[in-house]
Structure 1
Amino acid sequence: MIDMQDKTTHFGFKEVPAADKEKLVGKVFTSVAGKYDLMNDLMSGGVHRLWKRHFVAASGIREGQRVLDLAGGTGDIAQLLMPRLGESGHVIIGDINQAMLEVGQDRMIDAGFFGRFEIQQMNAEALPLEDNSIDAVTMAFGLRNVTDKQQALNEMYRVLKPGGKALVLEFSQVNNSLLKQLYQFYSFKILPEIGHWVTNDRDSYQYLVESIEQHPNQETLQQMFEQAGLEMCGYENLSAGIVAIHTGYKL
């Protein structure tokens, strides 16, 4: 785990004290919570919904399982999981940001899932769950915001039951040079302006774009999965590597 007193880390392209990143990220997501899903639709042209549906469809999660959805915030992944989990399944929506959790709780209740889920404010680096207690851990577009990513993966491994599966959907490295140039132009020149127009918060979306650039590429993240103790690790690129699904098992 990162020594918060001595270390620095990146917040977008800025170097900040590691102890400050959690608070800075918290401000970003408190600012955008109410329009987070709308912004995702605008920024991706709705494609994020297809990525998330594929993420859940390919998850192998089954009826009756207990799933932890980390960085679950607005509840979009949890809602997709519910038909797979059935009446006997249960999902814990964990997020470090209370404002995001409140949005997710309201949406899950409105969707008719009362009693089949719970929300819990938690830090991915120190999960308040027992060892070997979860069948699957999912995390969509949240790992890049964690200060100590390796520690978060270590915690996923700890709470998984033997045979359990960790799944991370995250922005990654585009594997086509021309597409990468176009994607970076769109990301740095267009997306922050959309954020300014919709949420009156350009800086938060500038950070989110920069955080994508700082995130480990596919091979590096797979190695981090393996370092956490996960086995049979692999990844699937979507949209030419704009995002990737990483998986690993606790055997």
Structure 2
Amino acid sequence: MRRVAQLSRCRQCCSLRQQQQWHQQQACRALNSSSEAASTAQKETHFGYKQVPESDKKGMVKGVFSSVAKDYDVMNDLMSAGVHRLWKDEFVRMLGVKEALQAGDSPPRVLDMAGGTGDISFRIIEEMSPYLRQDQGDEPIVTVSDINPKMLEVGEERAAKRFSGRALSALEFRVADAEALPFEDGAYDAYTIAFGLRNVTDVPRALAEARRVLRRGGRFMCLEFSHVNNPMLQRLYDAYSFSVIPKIGAVVANDKPAYQYLVESIRMFPKQHELERMMREAGFQAVSHTDMTCGVVSVHSGFKL
């Protein structure tokens, strides 16, 4: 009986120790979870030169572009003296839509991310127009997508004035976040983003999403302000950017802070070779870049192979 009682007490002690260990483990897990949550909550990113919580940046960027949406195209002309039109023309030419259609290929499905007011999409549709027929149906071919509904509203208004028939029905406008696209895997032949990637909070995630929605063999192309490779031009460019552009924004768009942010966001964007590295890490191959105007802007290209 004494041995039975001792064995019973041992079992109770073991059970108690196990319960204590289990509670300690749960407490540690809860502490780690709280630490991770606190770390996530405190994680910051840049908004221009300011450091802000990551969770706040999308709303802040949306506010900037909601404010400037109606004056966005006029401001682009004023800020670049119209040169942005030449950059965009060359960007679309490099995409190679016209050459593919001339060779007998079907019109490629294109996602124009951060497409806003439609500058890139409209150029693509104009290249496609001679090869579009009404008997091909009304299914959209080019998706103009942006996180900002006001930018897309301006784009839709411009499209209705510029196109009709099959060319107009080939366009669709979709509100979407570049970091969490609502499109199926492999849905597009090409993904373009012009002057929008620097406004994304998590660039690697946006690149991964771009690759996901491309079919095998599909092409990613990004046109973005970059880093000038001529020291003298860099000094002139900085002086113009920080002294003149915000003042133009104050006069034309009545929003100096928005254009101060746009200037600062350019300086915070990765340099050409750094963005190439990020594209390769996202899984793109045959990655390259082409500078324009001594690196004021750069075209980045990669393929999903």
Same fold (TM over 0.5): yes
Instruction: Tell me which residue corresponds to 2:250.
Output: 196
Instruction: Tell me which residue corresponds to 1:57.
Output: 93
- Contact in 2 for aligned 1:75/1:93 (Cα 8 Å): yes
Deviation at 1:93, TM superposition (A): 0.4
Q: How many residues align?
A: 249
Q: Are residues 1:72 and 2:115 paired?
A: yes
- Contact in 2 for aligned 1:4/1:19 (Cα 8 Å): no
Instruction: Tell me which residue corresponds to 2:192.
Output: 138
Alignment equivalent of 2:162, drawn from 111, 124, 133: 111
Alignment equivalent of 2:291, drawn from 224, 234, 237: 237
Separation of aligned partners in 1, 2:40 and 2:208: 18
Separation of aligned partners in 2, 1:117 and 1:228: 28
Separation of aligned partners in 1, 2:244 and 2:127: 37
Q: Measured at CA, do residues 12 and 66 of structure 1 come closer, stay the same or move farther in structure 2, by a change above 3 Å?
A: same
Q: Are residues 1:213 and 2:267 paired?
A: yes
Q: Are residues 1:91 and 2:127 paired?
A: no
Separation of aligned partners in 1, 2:110 and 2:128: 9
The 3-state SS of whatever aligns with 1:136 is strand
**What percent identity do the matched residue pairs reach?**
49
Answer with 81-90 or 150-159: which moved more: 81-90
Alignment equivalent of 1:151, drawn from 197, 201, 205: 205
Deviation at 1:4, TM superposition (A): 5.6
Separation of aligned partners in 2, 1:159 and 1:99: 24
The 3-state SS of whatever aligns with 1:114 is helix
Separation of aligned partners in 2, 1:91 and 1:5: 37
Instruction: Tell me which residue corresponds to 1:23.
Output: 59
The runs of at least 4 consecutive aligned structure 1 residues that moved more than 3 Å come to none
Aligned letter for 1:81? I
Deviation at 1:53, TM superposition (A): 0.3
Separation of aligned partners in 2, 1:211 and 1:4: 23
Separation of aligned partners in 2, 1:109 and 1:39: 22
1:178-197 Cα offsets, whole Å, 9 max, x none, are 00000000000110000001
Separation of aligned partners in 2, 1:70 and 1:114: 18
Separation of aligned partners in 1, 2:119 and 2:49: 28
RMSD: 1.2
Give the TM-score normalised by structure 1.
0.97
Separation of aligned partners in 2, 1:4 and 1:53: 41
The 3-state SS of whatever aligns with 2:96 is coil
1:44-96 Cα offsets, whole Å, 9 max, x none, are 00000000000001112344110000000001111100133342671000000
Aligned letter for 2:247? E
Q: Measured at CA, do residues 5 and 79 of structure 1 come closer, stay the same or move farther in structure 2, by a change above 3 Å?
A: same
Separation of aligned partners in 1, 2:159 and 2:43: 38
The structure in which a higher percent of residues are strand is 1
Aligned letter for 1:104? G
Separation of aligned partners in 2, 1:4 and 1:83: 45
Larger radius of gyration: 2
- Contact in 2 for aligned 1:7/1:17 (Cα 8 Å): yes
Aligned letter for 1:73? G
Give the TM-score normalised by structure 2.
0.80
The structure in which a higher percent of residues are helix is 2
Deviation at 1:110, TM superposition (A): 1.3
Q: Which runs of 5+ in 1 are unaligned?
A: none
Separation of aligned partners in 2, 1:5 and 1:98: 27
